[in-house]
A and B are shown apart, each in its own frame.
Chain A
Amino acid sequence: MELNKENIIRVINQGWINFKRNSWLAFGTVGIMVLALLIFSGLVAFNVVSRAAIASLEEKVDVTAYLKTEASDEAASEIVRELSGRPDVAFVNYVSREQALEDFKKRHQGEELIQQALSELGENPLQASLEIKAVNAVQYASLVGFIESGRFGSLIDKIDFYENQTVIGRIQKISSGLRVGGILVSLILSVIAVLITFNTIRLTIYSQKQEIEIMRLVGASNWHIRGPFLVEGAIYGIIAGLAVLIIFYPVVYLASPKVQTFIPAVSLASYFTGFFGQMLALVMGSGVALGIVSSLIAVRRYLRI
């Protein structure tokens, strides 16, 4: 008898009526929820971008080891063979001194001064180098260690790796900082949203004091008394969630081409189109959870049964 269809409809109906009667309060309540959920969604989008940025940078990382000029071609090809045999090396490319000079000349074609300086120098000033790519970005450190301290160590002049590493490190630091900041801000906003929703529900409870008293007296079941307030909280969450999706998706579509010019590998638009279902569930779920948690607190605190 308690959980029939009539009953559920009555409870939902009453929750909807509560919501409508509170229209101005509802506006503020939904507004702050929207803010919290928007920051939260922004955080999700930022995560996608920063992860893609790091991934694409890691892909670009390679190590260039410059050989001393006295290193012979035979020694170089031996190094190449040894490195290629390692499981953590994806590929090794040997650029000889002649090749390097050729490339350099090609790159600076038409630059009179440089060409002149080269011919005045008389001999090839460039070093032979090895471009090494690891299977995984984290393996570079040990790879560099191997090259430096291995038996070819004496042939290596310098290794160009640390600069890239600092860039990656910096991006990771910035993005994790922003992530922590974002989580903090959305947490604070969520708490504010809960407080405001809680207050709204409290006012509804107060305005319905008489109905609640009579319901208790005539023996209304507890969930029948509490249900409408939980429904009201959930409605705030649903509406806030919808508003967030309506704001979020156009912004993503607008921002997507701009992000893509920085990081070509990531298309925000297609990413979030692909994950629309999950995004809908996440935003709506968080909204409804915020609303219901707030009502539960208000109901527990202010609604005697």
Chain B
Amino acid sequence: MIIFDKVTKEYNGNHPNHNAYRALDKIELEIKDGEFVSIIGPSGAGKSTLLKMLIREETPTEGEVLVDDVRVAQLEDGEVPLLRRKIGTIFQDFKLLSNKTASENVAFALEVVGAFPEQIEDDVPKVLRIVGMEDKARNFPHQLSGGEKQRIAIARALVHRPKILLADEPTGNLDLLNAYDVIKLLTKINEFGTTVVLASHNREVVNAVGRRVITMDKGKIVKDQEQGKYAI
């Protein structure tokens, strides 16, 4: 369960000479376990800031963000990594390491949390199979198409078996066909029980999902529909 309780985020709010820029304005939002939520809106609407709050890349200026009843802003530094292992993230630019193969990129996520080698050998092929990339495990990112890279990024996000998957413009660099593939994969992951939060301004993609749609503009939620369509 994700709860945004009157969350406001201001930048440069402390500086007397700057007008504070309000990225989020008293956001009230609840996302239940297992939901698939699409967040849409123009650039600068606050979509990315909203997602960043969940993994404590950003902290609210006012209000409270709760993930499974945990107050995210009040976590100790040492507890933040544990939160991030519960929440997988994928991005428009994939963020793969170019000097590592597909499977090494996925294994990297396990290595840096101190997983044992046996576990890594076990889990990496499994998760590559889920995203349909077991054949390309030894390819380097430059040998993969955009859609394939995003699948590897998804595999990496899934390898910690996260409860929540955040997707920030995951199809922004993909053609329509690849974009549909990625969305299909996200839907499949959602069906396994993972909460998916998708931020996008791709009309076709959002309409293809056909689930709850939250529309944002200028840091505010302007629409929240259970069976939404992309409409701005």
**What is the interface of chain A, defined by CB distance below 8 A to chain B?**
1-4, 6-7, 10, 210-211, 213-222, 224-225, 305
Contact = CB atoms under 8 A, between A and B. Distances in A.
Given A210-B95, A305-B77, A218 B116 contact: no
A10 B55 CA distance: 25
Contacts of B109: 214, 218
A277 to B, nearest CB: 35
Given A10-B111, A210-B95, A214-B97, A221 B116 contact: no
A305 to B, nearest CB: 7
Which secondary structure dominates where chain A touches chain B? helix
B186 to A, nearest CB: 17
B84 A218 contact: yes
B118 to A, nearest CB: 10
Nearest to B95: A214
Interface of B: 55, 77-78, 80-85, 89, 95, 97, 108-109, 111-117, 156-157, 160
Contacts of B112: 215, 218, 220-221, 224-225
Given A221-B113, A224-B113, A305-B77, A214 B108 contact: yes
A153 B97 CA distance: 92
Contacts of B78: 221-222
A221 B110 CA distance: 11
A219 B116 CA distance: 16
Contacts of B160: 218-219
A83 to B, nearest CB: 73
Given A211-B97, A214-B95, A305-B80, A219 B113 contact: yes
Contacts of B95: 210, 213-214, 217
Given A1-B114, A215-B112, A220 B81 contact: yes
A9 to B, nearest CB: 11
A224 B84 contact: no
5 contacts: A2-B114, A217-B95, A218-B112, A221-B78, A222-B77
B83 A219 contact: yes
Nearest to B82: A219
B127 to A, nearest CB: 13
A135 B83 CA distance: 72
Nearest to B106: A218
A210 B156 contact: no
B219 to A, nearest CB: 24
B205 to A, nearest CB: 22
B109 to A, nearest CB: 4
Nearest to A7: B114
Central interface residue in B82, B108, B111, by most chain A CB within 10 Å: B111
Contact of B84 (A3, A4, A210, A216): A216
Nearest to A8: B114
Nearest to A1: B114
Given A4-B116, A222-B77, 10 more contacts: A6-B116, A210-B95, A210-B97, A214-B95, A218-B84, A220-B113, A221-B113, A222-B80, A224-B112, A224-B113
Contacts of A222: 77-78, 80-81
Contacts of A214: 95, 97, 108-109
A222 B77 CA distance: 8
A211 to B, nearest CB: 6
A166 B168 CA distance: 81
Contacts of B113: 1, 218-221, 224
Contacts of A221: 78, 81, 112-114
A7 B111 CA distance: 8
Nearest to B81: A219
A293 B227 CA distance: 56
Contacts of A215: 112
A105 B221 CA distance: 115
A211 B85 CA distance: 16
Contacts of A3: 114
Nearest to B55: A217
A1 B116 CA distance: 8
Given A210-B95, A214-B95, A305-B77, A219 B84 contact: yes
B4 to A, nearest CB: 21
Contact of A217 (B82, B84, B111, B116): B84
A80 B83 CA distance: 88
Contacts of A1: 113-115
A214 B141 CA distance: 15
